[in-house]
Structure 1
Amino acid sequence: MTFLFSGPNGDRTKRAFMAGLVGLLVNLMLGVFKILAGWQSGFLSVMGDGFNNITDMGSVVLLMMTFYYAAKPSDKEHPFGHGRLEYINSTVMAAVILYVGITLLVESVQKIIHPRNTEFTVFVAIILVIGLLAKLFLAWWYKRAGEKIGSKAFEAYSADSLSDTLSTSGVLVATLAEYFFGIQIDGIMGCLMSLFILWTGYSIMKNAVNSILGATPDKEVYRKIKECILSCPGVYGVHDLIVHDYGPENHFATAHVELDSSLNLVESHELAENVMTTLRDKLNVQATIHADPKAVSNPREAEYRRDLESAIYRTRLPLSYHDFFVEEKKGEIHLSFELALTGPCKLKDKEIYDEICSHLKAINPEYTVETMVDRNFISGKLYGWDEEEVKEIAGRNKEK
């Protein structure tokens, strides 16, 4: 139990428990009073709203258990921690919400076909108004908690509470309509309420499953990591940043950083180590850094970059470039870079390579090109690399 409120996520877990306890108590009181009011009056939609509060209470208990287990440190079986339990919790909660919505829809349709007498009381109206205000409070409370601790699970609970305010409003309209106008719309409002519940469950399920599958993390996470890397001394650029989400505040990253090509292996290693340490200390991000050479001391590099940008412009293709490096050798100017698509493109990688090469050769016949196309973080085949030269370098290293 000592791990629960200690360690880097201890304060976060404590706040989550406090937010969950408030939601637990509010849903318990609402559920009991609504079920009692619905049973006495015969309003099925009121009882359904009460049972929805009870399921919300169970969901909050599940959420608190999730934070309990997610706070556990990594172990041999789970080297990346237990943070994704929050996403699994959201999936389970969504399944419960979908079940409640389907059940209520079936019962509401049956009541439309076979209407039953109901009895309006002031007690029912008071309970519904209190429930409406309480759910508005919970929607704000969960949203505030989600923003403070960075939890999508609490944001999902906030959305669920907000949808509950709409359904409770529908139930209140049904009871008043029947009392003042004698119109029985309880079953219809129950159907509408169930549709709201089903839509909420679907939305939560979709977001949770996307997080488990590996959806793109929030743009703010990328921005902070990039800014942190670029703040490190000796770093001239960063690209190919990939962030792996293992739960809120539990991110792993890989990135390519541009370092001065004149540095030796030991110096490049030290700079890369500094970047990894900075990310771990400032953002609690575990990172693997790949060093890319940048010809900082070459006064003609800017000219070569402009030629490449001109060639890309002339192709009229939706392309951007990164990981640019130039090497002048054997009477040739060897350009090495990677291309990324900024929009839809029907051409294959080899066709893109041929287009770029032809335009660069037209600008300067001494250019030779080595490039690949990145599509959604997936690197394609490398075109233009000199296989014989690689074997020659490997052979010299072997002789040493």
Structure 2
Amino acid sequence: MANQNYSKLVRSASLLATCTAILLLMIKSVAYLMTGAVSILASQVDSLMDIGMSLINLFAVRYALRPPDNEHRFGHGKVEPVAGLIQAAFICGTAIILFYTGVASIWAPKPLTQSGIGIVVMLISTVATLLLVLYQLYVVRQTHNSVIKADSLHYSIDILMNLAVVAALVLDEFGWRWADGVFTIAIAVYVLHSAWQIGIDAFNHLLDRELDEATKIDILAISQGVEGVAGTHDLRTRQAGHIKFIQLHLELEDDLTLIHAHQIGVEVEKRLMARWPQADILVHLDPLSVVGDDVRSEYYY
């Protein structure tokens, strides 16, 4: 049931992002044709990029949800950080286009027409994007999906971009022709910074970076809370898509029977699974007599 709810949420979020991007591209295209504002053109190009990214994310989410098979025994979750790297590349491309259009506008500013219509369109775009981001943030809280998280960050940037375009159009009404280009360049710099963040996060996932410290502390606290566990060491963690991989050694009394030791290990796995239902857990049982001080001192938990 938990897995079905996860699938439903991430699929709906990725599909909603695609539909929203298509809608925004259509209305921004009309606004640019009516106003001639390069800041709207920049936002329009960004919406075109959004469609490409949303389609990639839609594919990545569906592929990552496939169960493990004979050729992919650890599942297909790593397609998500791959999609994140592609997303970062798309965003970098957006930033380059924005920077170019901004410089061109400052070099040869042109008077805008029907700025009022442009302002209304961008405000509508802002509201639509805000509603999408709110739903994406809800999905991220429920699923911790990295693809939806990256997409949410990008659309949050879009909100700032839309407001910056509105500010540029308003300033143009007062005769500040340079505002359109300056705001476009500022948006480009911010978008490039966001692309860097998304790319680094995806890169760390591909390199099997450890889970955060708070999660690792929780893992050890749960494990050591099981009766019969004298200690733990050699904790290793990573994440691929929605699956957390957890490996650790349990230190048990020497005189336990094999069946009793096995029951303790199963209980640890059950409690960890109760906390992280999507986790892949592997525990190793060590008699206390073979666990030397050098092993304990090597790990700071």
What's the % identity of the aligned pairs? Answer: 23
- Structure 1 residue aligned with 2:75: 81
Residues 281/148 of structure 1: CA separation in 2 closer, same or farther (3 Å cut): closer
- 1:55 matched to 2:43? The reply is no
How do 1:148-227 and structure 2 match up within 5 A? 148-227=142-221
- Structure 2 residue aligned with 1:38: 32
- Structure 2 residue aligned with 1:18: 12
Q: Secondary structure at the match of 2:280?
A: strand
Of structures 1 and 2, the one scoring higher in RCO (CA 8 A, sep 6+) is: 2
Q: Secondary structure at the match of 1:258?
A: strand
Instruction: Work out the number of aligned pairs and report it.
Output: 300
Shift in Å, 1:251: 2.2
- Structure 1 residue aligned with 2:244: 251
- 1:338 matched to 2:271? The reply is no
- Structure 1 residue aligned with 2:129: 135
Name the TM-score, length of structure 1 as normaliser: 0.68
Contact 1:120 1:179 in 2 (8 A): no
CA RMSD of aligned residues (A): 2.5
- Structure 2 residue aligned with 1:333: none
> For residues 275 and 157 of structure 2, what CA distance do their matches in structure 1 show?
38
Shift in Å, 1:99: 0.6
Measured against aligned partners, the alpha-carbon deviations of 1:53-72 in whole angstroms (never above 9, x if no partner) come to 22212222221211211111
> For residues 282 and 176 of structure 1, what CA distance do their matches in structure 2 show?
51
Contact 2:172 2:179 in 1 (8 A): yes
Measured against aligned partners, the alpha-carbon deviations of 1:168-201 in whole angstroms (never above 9, x if no partner) come to 1211111111112343321111111111211111
Contact 1:141 1:158 in 2 (8 A): no
> For residues 138 and 131 of structure 1, what CA distance do their matches in structure 2 show?
11
Determine which of 85, 91, 99 is the counterpart of 1:91. Answer: 85
Task: Report which of the two structures shows the higher radius of gyration computed on alpha carbons.
Answer: 1
The one-letter code sitting in structure 2 at the alignment partner of 1:189 is: F
Q: Secondary structure at the match of 2:81?
A: helix
> For residues 180 and 288 of structure 2, what CA distance do their matches in structure 1 show?
70
The one-letter code sitting in structure 2 at the alignment partner of 1:254 is: Q
- Structure 2 residue aligned with 1:316: none
Q: Which has the higher strand share?
A: 1
Contiguous gaps of at least 5 residues in structure 1: 1-6, 296-322, 326-335, 341-372, 378-400
Measured against aligned partners, the alpha-carbon deviations of 1:90-126 in whole angstroms (never above 9, x if no partner) come to 1111111111111221222122223333223321110
> For residues 195 and 134 of structure 1, what CA distance do their matches in structure 2 show?
24
> For residues 97 and 139 of structure 1, what CA distance do their matches in structure 2 show?
17
Q: Secondary structure at the match of 2:84?
A: helix
> For residues 67 and 238 of structure 1, what CA distance do their matches in structure 2 show?
35
- 1:144 matched to 2:138? The reply is yes
Which runs of at least 4 in structure 1 moved beyond 6 Å after TM superposition? none
Residues 281/190 of structure 1: CA separation in 2 closer, same or farther (3 Å cut): closer
Name the TM-score, length of structure 2 as normaliser: 0.89
- Structure 1 residue aligned with 2:97: 103
> For residues 5 and 200 of structure 2, what CA distance do their matches in structure 1 show?
29
Contact 2:14 2:58 in 1 (8 A): yes
Contiguous gaps of at least 5 residues in structure 2: none
